[in-house]
Every structure is written in C-alpha cells, then in structure tokens.
C-alpha cells in the first residue's frame, strides 16, 4: 500500500520542484526515524524500499504516515500532527518571506489551528483518489524556482 500511495503522490505533483522537495523531506524523515528508532522493524524496510530497491521515491506525506504507523500511533493523532506541521511550515514561510511578522504569525496560527480538527474530520471521509489538488498557476511559479538567481528556500 505504501508503494501505491507513493506513486499517487508522485503523479499528483506535476512539477519537478514540488516533487523534489517532497522526496527530500520524506527521505530525511525516513533516515532520521531509522536512526532514532532503530529497534522498530518496519523502518529499515522503508529505507530499503526508498534507497536500495528504489521502488519508492519517499514522498514526505507517505513516509510521515509510515513512520507514525511503525510507531503504533493512532490515525487521528497522526492526521492532526501532519496538519499542524503543515500549518506551521506555511506560516513560518510567510514570516521568512516578510509577508507577516512573528506576532501576526502567532495570531494566525492560533486561529487556523482551531480549524484543524474539522479539516481532519471532513478529509477523513475522502478516498485517496479525491485528495489531490491542481493549481496551475502555483505549478508554473514553482517550475521557475530553479531558474531564479537567488533561491528563497532549499528543501
């Protein structure tokens, strides 16, 4: 199932910049988890599927779920952690880009994190085939990242 989910993530990320960021973050998480939780038997298999066998690209969302599953975390807290981490990342990026200040970011996070349980609730009713989103403008802008003189982020 992980391999299938990884392939779906790969097909939903239409540009190379988003795909590269997702796989780098996923691989980094897999490496860190395998080192920290070296007694958990699933993690070496995950690393093998990503690195040695090459049957998985190791997208972040899939690796996050696999690591949480290997640690026997329940689904609902795992989804909440993933959504909270995603929110935190977006807000931190807005601060680094200078679009919001640190205090405004804290207020924004406080308001938005209250929405996470309801987002987790309605998204849990969706199938894997329903969870992708296409934003052509965002894809186009992301594709320009490698041609920029100065890159803002390197994931």
Going from N- to C-terminal start, the domains of the chain cover: 1-73
Overall average pLDDT of the 41-45 stretch: 84
Distance between CA atoms of residues 65 and 33, nearest Å: 12
Overall average pLDDT of the 119-145 stretch: 75
pLDDT, tens digit (0-9, with 9 covering 90-100), for 88-110? 999 998 898 888 999 999 999 99
- pLDDT given at position 112: 95
pLDDT of 68 > 70? The answer is yes
Residue 33 class from Cβ within 10 Å (0-12 exposed, 13-18 middle, 19+ buried)? buried
Could you tell me if 58 and 118 are in contact, meaning their C-beta atoms sit under 8 angstroms apart?
no
- pLDDT given at position 21: 87
Residue 59 has a CB neighbour count (10 Å cut-off) of 27
Query: For residue 18, what pLDDT band results from cuts at 50, 70 and 90?
Result: confident
Q: Where are the beta strands (DSSP E) in the chain?
A: none
Could you tell me if 44 and 34 are in contact, meaning their C-beta atoms sit under 8 angstroms apart?
yes
Distance between CA atoms of residues 123 and 136, nearest Å: 22
Query: For residue 28, what pLDDT band results from cuts at 50, 70 and 90?
Result: very high
Could you tell me if 49 and 42 are in contact, meaning their C-beta atoms sit under 8 angstroms apart?
no
Overall average pLDDT of the 79-85 stretch: 95
pLDDT of 2 > 90? The answer is no
- pLDDT given at position 39: 85
Q: Which of 56, 55, 119, 49 is nearest to 82 (CA)?
A: 119
Residue 26 class from Cβ within 10 Å (0-12 exposed, 13-18 middle, 19+ buried)? buried
Overall average pLDDT of the 27-51 stretch: 87
- pLDDT given at position 104: 96
Query: For residue 57, what pLDDT band results from cuts at 50, 70 and 90?
Result: very high
The model's pTM is: 0.81
């Amino acid at each position: 199932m992980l391999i299938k989910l990884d392939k779906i993530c790969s097909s939903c990320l239409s540009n190379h910049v988003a795909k590269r960021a997702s796989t780098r973050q996923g691989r980094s998480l897999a490496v860190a988890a395998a080192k920290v939780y070296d007694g958990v038997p699933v993690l070496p298999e995950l690393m093998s599927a990503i690195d040695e066998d090459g049957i998985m690209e190791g997208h972040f969302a899939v690796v996050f779920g696999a690591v949480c599953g290997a640690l026997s975390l329940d689904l609902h807290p795992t989804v909440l952690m993933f959504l909270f981490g995603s929110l935190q990342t977006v807000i931190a990026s807005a601060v680094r880009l200078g679009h919001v200040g640190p205090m405004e970011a804290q207020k924004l996070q406080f308001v938005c994190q209250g929405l996470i349980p309801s987002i987790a609730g309605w998204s849990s009713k969706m199938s894997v085939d329903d969870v992708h989103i296409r934003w052509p403008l965002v894809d186009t802008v992301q594709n320009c990242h490698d041609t920029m003189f100065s890159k803002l982020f390197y994931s």
